Each structure stands twice: as structure tokens, then as C-alpha cells.
Structure 1
């Protein structure tokens, strides 16, 4: 499932970086921390690889 907004894509990228051990988990905040805790690495890859072109800044509810 691709990310629906730029913010969601960026949060997934941060969480993925922590899953891979490239950044510290303690550096994560907000949605990135939640994504790290609740999603697998393959799910995070799907979100993070989504193109940001034509995506809104934030997803609408």
C-alpha cells in the first residue's frame, strides 16, 4: 500500500531507517515511532518508496 501523503512517506522513511539500524530508534518521534512499532520492514519499504510527486502535504481524513 503506497503512502497517501508526503508526510506519511517521510515518516515511513525515518522508521525504515531505524528498522535497518541506520538511525537510532530513540530519535524517532510521532508517526515515525508508531510506524516503527507497528509495521514490518517490507511494509515500511512499500510506504517509503512511494513517489512524492502529486502527493498532498498531509492526508485528509
Structure 2
């Protein structure tokens, strides 16, 4: 499942970092906090690895 925006890709990267133990879960905010709880490490890795080129900063609608 690729990220649909740069913000989603960044949030997935932050959530992945927390899931791996590199970042404190308490440091997560907003979407990255819920992503860390609801997604597997594999799903987060796929979303975080999405290329940013051509993606909007935020998904509209």
C-alpha cells in the first residue's frame, strides 16, 4: 500500500521508527500514533518507502 501524500509517507516513517524501538511511542503525534498501533511493520515499511516525487504535500479530500 503506497503512501498517497508526502505527509502520509513521513507519518509512516515516524511510526515505523517507533515500532522498531528507535523512537519513543510517546513522541508520536496524530496519524503516526494511530498508524503505529494499527499497522504491521511490513505495511509501515512499504508505505514509508514510497517515493515522494510527484506526490502532493497533503492528500486533498
TM-score, normalising length from structure 1?
0.97
The runs of at least 4 aligned residues of structure 1 exceeding 2 Å deviation read none
Q: Residue 20 of structure 1: CA displacement?
A: 0.5
Q: Does 1:10 pair with 2:10?
A: yes
- Once the two structures are superposed, residues 28-60 of structure 1 have per-residue CA deviations (whole angstroms, 9 ceiling, x without a partner) of 000000100110000000100001111000012
Structure 1: segments with no counterpart, 5+ residues: none
What are the equivalent positions in structure 2 for 1:15-26 lying under 5 Å apart? 15-26=15-26
Q: Does 1:55 pair with 2:58?
A: no
Structure 2: segments with no counterpart, 5+ residues: none
